[in-house]
Structure 1
């Protein structure tokens, strides 16, 4: 994995974000709140070290899109126990006709990836402005790795957010995937990238 700090402060709490595929920090650019926010991304390999998380008194995990299944795999590997775990716009089944993205769709996305197709993906996801910079080969490799790694066991997410207009991980697939966790589901109006400018991180950790 790669990582970057989105915010740094002297506070003792950390929000650890597992981002989505190829979007970088852009989905979270409008979220505000002083504190420490660390973004992990690029799930080609889950063995790359993150900064020492033991220095923080509290670590809340927010996993978005393919970050949901990738965070679940990472948590199982490392044994790390966040204080609170949040899933947004994702499931534990990356390639699944019933519980995620249809296998033929995700494989076609990888195999036919280009800057033009990525721009279309960003629009469908609800990302505004120009698409983030893209390394086509690296992004294709990451998708193949996510597919090959397969589904993950549920680490016990404390909150699951499902957007009502998700055209990437279809809303109906998320509903089906999380049916047994209905007590922790919250609906949110919006597309696959549901974060809105002016919101703060705390709104998504409730």
Structure 2
């Protein structure tokens, strides 16, 4: 895992984004706001530490897709710096028949991973065909296997949970079960719903 700044202008607030698997920060570029943005991805290991964020008045967390469980595993045993947390189309049980991606579907993704299957995956993520992207098959497969091996993340509450009705990665009914009793908002959108938003603040 690594943290890198997407925007750093000594703002009053920092948003730490735990992104999804095999999708870069480009999905967030259009979001506007004064906040500084720190992006985390690459979940084969969760050894990275946050940079010093003590100068910020507020620190917020946005976790998307596999970033939700990765964040919760990463947070365990570390001080929690976040005043508010939002989860988007992800689960603390990332591989689960009833609350995440069904194990058979996940296993098929691992076993058939190729540049061609990755393009199909991106089409499901965005709800439309995407331009061809390069893929390090073995590195991405290792990341999936690490997600599977870590299993369920510790339970925790989020201030806001988003579930997309058109999610073709995490079944929406599974996410509804996973987040029962939390502050859930529903979106008519695909797995990557960020084009429905203009400002970072709208996600919280």
TM surpasses 0.5: yes
- Farther off after superposition, 47-56 or 68-77: 47-56
How far the C-alpha of 1:7 sits from its partner, in A, is 1.4
1: CA distance, partners of 2:134 / 2:6: 17
After alignment, is 192-201 or 117-126 more displaced? 192-201
Asked if structure 2 preserves the Cα contact closer than 8 Å seen for 1:75 and 1:81, the reply is no
Unaligned runs of 5+ in 1: none
Alignment deviations for residues 40-81 of structure 1 (CA, whole Å, 9 cap, x no partner) = 001111112232222322110000000001111111131323
2:61 is paired with a residue of what secondary structure?
strand
Number of residues of Structure 1 aligned to a counterpart in Structure 2: 203
Q: Is the 8 A contact 1:17 1:38 kept in 2?
A: yes
The TM-score normalised by the length of structure 2 is 0.93
Partner of 1:176: 177
State the match for 1:161 in structure 2. Answer: 162
Equivalent-residue separation in structure 1 for 2:74 and 2:9 (angstroms): 25
Structure 2 unaligned blocks of 5 or more: none
Structure 2 counterpart of 1:199: 198
Normalised by the size of structure 1, how large is the TM-score?
Answer: 0.93
Q: 1 CA distance for matches of 2:197 and 2:176?
A: 27
CA–CA distance in structure 1, aligned partners of residues 135 and 69 of structure 2? 22
Pairwise CA RMSD: 1.6
Change (3 A) 1:92 1:163: same
Tell me the SS of whatever aligns to 1:97. Answer: coil
